[in-house]
Homo-oligomer: A and B are copies of this chain.
Amino acid sequence: MLGRKLLERLSRDGMLGGKGISHAVLADLVAPPARDIRHFEVELAVVDLAEPGVARELLSGRPDVIFHLAAVVSGEAESDFEKGYRANLDGTRLLLDAIRDGGMGYKPRLVFTSSIAVFGPPYPEAIGDNHATTPLTSYGTQKAIAEMLLSDYTRRGFMDGVAIRLPTICVRPGEPNLAASSFFSSIIREPLNGREAVLPVPDDIRHWFASPRAAVAFLVRAAEVDGEALGDHRSITMPGVSATVAEQIEALRRAGGDDAVRLIRREPDERILQIVRTWPGRFAARRAEELGFRAESSFDEIVRVYIEDELGNRIESART
């Protein structure tokens, strides 16, 4: 989803970091649907990054900027231990080593999507930029390790890496899925499309959000930010909006009315609550803000972005 939206944004801009884009290689495990890309040529590579030799082949054109978004997601990395470590740790390390093997003078910007899943409780009121990474999932562990490798490879001069810790992306387009975080998007998206949504946790659960549009802007900013200014600390917690479920629901009410809110069905799920209550609720992402990363400033704005970008500015529930 993020890769697709990033490509659309790059296609609109035609440039990155003040330079025109000449060529892009899009690598994934499955072939993405064909897109209409303006301004530059896109080459598709259906490959497994965790296979030896693949990363080196992908880098044969010596790209100036590499976005590494690929990952086995949280739930799957937890249910399939080996698959998660293979993709998220070994795959990332093979990519880093392929960049290092690029030799003298090749020092591309690598933008890596880390996650706030690198953090674990107990949390302070607002998690600062120097808070320890103590992940409580294998996914978060793999992201935290990849961050460390990226920093060391950058410090050693093999590349110019930036790891951005993404908030939970909300409102995700598409269908509800099995991820424990799925409801954070569903309770907004489904009612705005006239459909019922299930809420498995209490209203006072607080979490940290940014829109897909903001996440794409983070990626672009991470590609452009001055590496010298970052120094040796290459992992940056992204800004976001801290909101409780109750605050999410009030934002939905302001956008879609009481009819939309009535489509939320409360169905407490202890298993989901156990997971979600270990998640962070608020960050003080000062460093990212100083470096020019911008998120929404309220959950209302996050809802508005969804309505603009995914619904063509029209709300189903308001029309019925």
Give residues 113-169 of A contacting B (CB, 8 Å).
120, 124, 129-136, 138, 141, 144-145, 148-149, 151-152, 155-156
The listed residue (B120, B124, B131, B156) touching A232 by CB distance below 8 A is B120
Q: For residue A100, give the distance in angstroms from its CB to the closest CB of chain B.
A: 8
A81 contacts chain B at the CB level, 8 A cutoff: yes
Given contacts A81-B156, A130-B132, A156-B81, contact A148 B151 (CB under 8 A): no
Question: With a CB–CB cut-off of 8 A, which chain B residues contact A152?
Answer: 135, 138, 141
Chain B CB count within 10 A is highest, among A129, A148, A155, for A148
B148 touches A141 (CB 8 A): yes
Residues of B with C-beta under 8 A to A151: 134-135, 141
Given A120-B232, A144-B148, A148-B144, is A156 in contact with B135 using a C-beta cutoff of 8 Å? no
The interface centre, meaning the residue of A131, A141, A151, A233 with most chain B CB atoms within 10 A of its CB, is: A141
Chain A residues with a Cβ closer than 8 Å to the other chain, count:
24
Q: Which residues of B lie under 8 Å from residue A131 when comparing CB positions?
A: 130-132
> What are 23 residue pairs bridging A and B, where the CB atoms are less than 8 Å apart in the complex?
A120-B232, A120-B233, A124-B130, A129-B132, A130-B134, A131-B132, A132-B132, A132-B133, A133-B133, A133-B148, A134-B232, A134-B233, A134-B235, A135-B148, A135-B151, A135-B152, A136-B232, A141-B148, A141-B149, A141-B151, A141-B152, A145-B145, A145-B148
Interchain nearest-CB distance for A282 vs B (Å): 16
How many whole Å from A202's CB to the nearest CB in chain B? 23
Q: Which B residues lie within 8 Å of A148 (CB)?
A: 133, 135, 141, 144-145, 148
Q: Looking across the interface, which residue of chain B has its beta carbon closest to that of A124?
A: B130
* CA–CA, A134 and B235, complex, Å: 9
Instruction: Determine the distance from Cα of A138 to Cα of B133 in the docked complex, in whole angstroms.
Output: 18
A77 to chain B, nearest CB (A): 10
Closest Cβ of chain B: how far from A93's Cβ, in Å? 9
User: Does A149 contact B145, Cβ atoms closer than 8 Å?
Assistant: yes
Chain B residues within 8 Å of A134, by CB: 130, 151, 232-233, 235
Of all A-B residue pairs in the complex, the 7 with the closest CB atoms, nearest first, are: A141-B152, A130-B132, A145-B145, A141-B148, A132-B132, A145-B148, A138-B152
- Please report which residues of chain A, range 186-236, place their CB below 8 angstroms from some CB of chain B when the two chains form the complex: 232-233, 235
